[in-house]
Structure 1
Amino acid sequence: MIIDDQVYDVIIIGTGAGGGTLARKLAPTGKKILILERGELIYRESSELTGTEVFKKEQYYAPEPWFDKAGEPFYPQTKYGVGGNTKLWYGVLMRMRERDFEAVPHQDGLSPEWALKYADFEPYYTEAEKLYQVHGRSGEDPTEPHHSEAYPCAEVAHEPFLQPLFDTLSKQGLHPAHLPIGLGDQGRTDSEDTGVTPALKSDNVTLKTSANVLWLHTNPSGTEIKAVQAKIGDQTFLFMGHLVVLACGAINSAALLLRSANEKHPKGIANGSDQVGRNLMKQLLSVVVQVTSTANSGMFPRTIGINDFYGGDDNFHYPMGHIQNSGGIFQDVLFSEAPPILSGLSRFFPNFGLRQLATHSIGWWMQTEDLPNSNNRIYYLNDRMRVEYEPNNVEAHDRLVYKWFDVLKSVESAQPSMFNRGATHPRSDMPMSVVAHQCGTCRFGTDPETSVLDLNCRAHEVDNLYVVDSSFFPSNTSVSPALTVMANALRVGEHLIDRLG
């Protein structure tokens, strides 16, 4: 039996960086808002948790399998819950660089131009940084774009044992910078504590958890979404809404549109352009481990970022990417952003136990932009969601990694008391199951033939349907998409407030 629920002014599906931020923005309007979240509340694990059992946890994976190009199942490293994957991150909130909004040549092709520019997002970056209490320092990173206001909070200090490393990098002609980090009284800010929880203080906002949205139903002409069908426990509900906003993540938002195909939208809702689910991007990500002579807690935060090779170098005139310290290995694995790198390190360091490796190492996280490819896509086959993704821009990423190997060797020569000279630097690349930084499956633009959404992130073909997660990106970057998703949700929120009257 399907239960008809009451009618809402706005239905938001998903509570991550986009959905949670939008809920906070719309709550003061007094309009009747429903938030649907597939998962439950997520509680951070105690920072006291230690031991090798940390590395064996699989609670940060989706409960259902996805399928790769060969039809083989895998469990994606993503978590359903209030706050989405912002509950499992380090809170590094970087702005896209001004050049990222332009057409940028890469070795493997062109990163396409955005129809909106950095100046269009800048006020909303500033608003998002205030909302998420970003701690940072301007003036260190030569690639950093213009800020109309200073960071709202002072930068997070480096751990004492990291400060000499930061200084050595500077002396070698690089420009290490303090990473901008969202940080509140209870630790890293996320879209639950910053977005959803404050929104729920308004009587007009309702949150339903464990709500698995199955389909979107349109009116007979296919021009509007009339109902959202969701399963909560053993019951199926129809939620009626005047405006419907998807914020399920780039893969799941596209999947919901494809799954909701009907007579007026035979290829999937809003998919007359055949672009829904295409152009999936998720960056090329690797971790390099540097073993130290001295011990650390294994729990220190990420604070160092390097963008000296963001646009290439003298030997490679194409962008390579962004580097940041990965934080303490225990903490990285605890919050499930890094792969289980320690399990593969024993063959490099047979005299180290896992715990000793965790407390005698510094990880470095490498991020390289991948390019949109229409064949990198998601679709349904025999009621199974398939994710087809072939990495590109691989040489640029390899060059970034090996460039950093050379930098680490120079650092170790300059700091012999901290590092064993000539040490091996194991590299771990992200497998298919790591879908962090996913974007691009419902790109926005001005041409309905080549895009899914207009510049307000409204579907070209469906008047009351919006998407505010990273699906709207026409290109990727080498920085995390999170702050841009938040800024865009605030931008779209202004448009929706005007539309709601």
Structure 2
Amino acid sequence: MADIATMTWDVIVIGTGIGGGSVGRRLAEQGLSVLFLEKGPDLGDNVVPPVPPDTIDPDARVAGGAWPKTISARLDGKWCELDGMIGSVVGGTSSFYAATLERPERHDLDTAEHLPHPTGGWPVSYDEMRPWFDLAERYYQISGEADPLDPQAATLPAPPRALPQSDIDLMADLKRAGMHPYQTHMAARFVPGCEGCFGRRCTRRCKMDGRSAGVLPAIETGRAALLDRCSVSRIEADATGVTSLLCLREGKPITLSARHYVLAGGGLGSPSLMLRSKNEHWPEGLGNRNDLVGRNLMFHMSEIIAIWAGQNRDESAASRSISMRDLYFRNGARLGTVQSMGLTAGYGEILHAMHNRFDMSALRRVRPLRMGLRVPARIAAGMLGRAKLFVGVLEDLPYPTNRLIPDAQDEDRFVFHYDISDELRRRRAIFRKAMRAAFHPHRAMFMGTAPQLNFAHPCGTLRFGDDPATSVLDRDCKVHGLSNLYVTDSSFMPTSNGVNPSLTIAANALRVADQIAASMRPRLAAADSLG
């Protein structure tokens, strides 16, 4: 460890999720020396029990790969504590993700004309991003089928997967109803003995995540190293660039230095670290001269619907296999993707949905009636059988008042303010109506009435753009005003788009890696000539 701490690396990457793992691997493959820093442990391929959602002990959470503290949030003016499903482990949050990696639509990146308020849009076009979408799909071994609505559909590197008959039948029903379903794009290798690990850590490397597709291949090059359980306390910088990192590892302070630094700590972690790193040159925090760091926080909104596709089908054979984009953009409204969750709904899920509806009704104060819902829930479950659960991924849009608020007393505590906008509520109503119509004539029931934000998808808090007055990062995701600090996690995104952000994060990280490598080629060439 002493050698690692005393070296001057080409690049230090803070964070090992999709953004950190991807950028580090690409840099190492291009001949640069890379040091990965991860706050949490490297759990390897060991089987570790999942962290129960009500766990508050920091040590117990970290031992299972979760962020040490829960999140404090003021949602629509009410304070609450929540578990944002943030990973603190080699692989980051991607260790627990569902491995759904889909491209955004062309209009997501190329136009801002349909947005309800000015956002500055994406400074990099879809066509500029296309080579890195292709590369990210190869890195993560994406399997699935081409989207039939995409005029320039991706050619995926892995073949389509075998589907259960119930999914095949449901896709045929959707096509007959005028929809355009296709097999979901997933980062998964279905190796012998794999029982599926979507939504939890994979111990057989069948799920491609920041560790298996990023960190491990980088280390195999011989040009990358990893320090786990290493917490970056602050980034030291002068007026023009980062000079070093102050870290804490196993209770001991260490200082690390590199020629370039990549911040990939996540949509909440990265802005939090930048705001904590104040000095005389950056009194409001790194990159925060225009009070934009931590603002424009976005999530996706999840609309979960249960579908009963037929009495004679085995609905218990659930898989994350079906996606469709017929509702992605409708009549000027930015909506999103609809896809199967790989879960089924039975008595418990039906009762939960009935409770949600009752709690929103005029009878909610008559509590004995709520207990009586158990009987109709059992009757409904017996009549309908088990249903497949689908989720609609509704795009969120940026508002500067939705923002991260740093906790000055506790660097492990994330605090944010978020208000659901009126325009998001209107689009939600449109989306729910369209989802119900899309599955007609099958029986369908939404599994909730209240808006449900996906707290695993924070993004937008360090948005990139060409104008320093409206963005934190430039088009290469380098912090405005700092010559050697880049960001490659979800915080760079100006809009959240209508798909899971993972593939976009990976593609952008690879693009940034190539920009860094290009800037260092003269030094590498000089070193080769001396070697």
Normalising by structure 1, we get a TM-score of 0.84
Cα-to-partner distance string for 1:467-492 (whole Å, 9 max, x where unaligned):
01111111121111111111111111
Residue 168 of structure 1 and its aligned partner are, at CA, apart by 0.6
Return the letter of the residue paired with 1:489.
A
From 323, 333, 345, the equivalent of 1:318 is 333
Q: Separation in 2 of the partners of 1:357 and 1:189?
A: 39
Q: Within 5 Å, which residues of 2 pair with 1:136-175?
A: 136-138=144-146, 140-142=147-149, 144=150, 146-147=152-153, 150-175=155-180
Cα-to-partner distance string for 1:40-97 (whole Å, 9 max, x where unaligned):
23468989x99xx988888575321332235544332212111112221221111111
3-state DSSP of counterpart to 1:442: coil
Name the counterpart of 2:287: 270
Q: Cα–Cα, structure 1 residues 54 and 46, in superposed 2: closer, same or farther, change >3 Å?
A: farther
Cα-to-partner distance string for 1:134-185 (whole Å, 9 max, x where unaligned):
11222x431x2625x6211222233211111111110011111211111224
Q: Separation in 1 of the partners of 2:65 and 2:123?
A: 35
Return the letter of the residue paired with 1:284.
M
Considering fraction of residues, name the structure with more helix: 2
8 Å Cα contact 2:132-2:508 kept in structure 1: yes
1:78 aligns with 2:98: no
8 Å Cα contact 2:490-2:505 kept in structure 1: yes
Name the counterpart of 1:210: 229
Q: Separation in 1 of the partners of 2:353 and 2:298?
A: 29
Return the letter of the residue paired with 2:415.
R
1:380 aligns with 2:381: no
Q: Separation in 2 of the partners of 1:357 and 1:232?
A: 57
The more displaced of 128-137 and 181-190 is: 181-190
Residue 409 of structure 1 and its aligned partner are, at CA, apart by 4.2
Q: Cα–Cα, structure 1 residues 168 and 446, in superposed 2: closer, same or farther, change >3 Å?
A: same
3-state DSSP of counterpart to 1:435: strand
Name the counterpart of 2:463: 443
Q: Separation in 2 of the partners of 1:359 and 1:6?
A: 61
Name the counterpart of 2:391: 365
1:223 aligns with 2:228: no
Name the counterpart of 2:360: none
Q: Cα–Cα, structure 1 residues 329 and 305, in superposed 2: closer, same or farther, change >3 Å?
A: same
Q: Separation in 2 of the partners of 1:26 and 1:497?
A: 7
Q: Separation in 1 of the partners of 2:333 and 2:273?
A: 36
3-state DSSP of counterpart to 2:458: coil
Return the letter of the residue paired with 2:270.
S
Name the counterpart of 1:337: none
3-state DSSP of counterpart to 1:405: helix
Return the letter of the residue paired with 2:472.
V
From 393, 396, 403, the equivalent of 2:427 is 396
Q: Cα–Cα, structure 1 residues 357 and 381, in superposed 2: closer, same or farther, change >3 Å?
A: farther
Residue 112 of structure 1 and its aligned partner are, at CA, apart by 4.5
3-state DSSP of counterpart to 1:282: strand
Q: Cα–Cα, structure 1 residues 428 and 245, in superposed 2: closer, same or farther, change >3 Å?
A: farther
3-state DSSP of counterpart to 2:333: coil
Name the counterpart of 2:266: 249
Q: Separation in 2 of the partners of 1:171 and 1:42?
A: 47
Q: Separation in 1 of the partners of 2:264 and 2:140?
A: 18
Same amino acid, percent of matched pairs: 26
8 Å Cα contact 1:328-1:358 kept in structure 2: no
Name the counterpart of 1:415: none
1:193 aligns with 2:199: no
Return the letter of the residue paired with 1:395.
R
3-state DSSP of counterpart to 1:194: helix
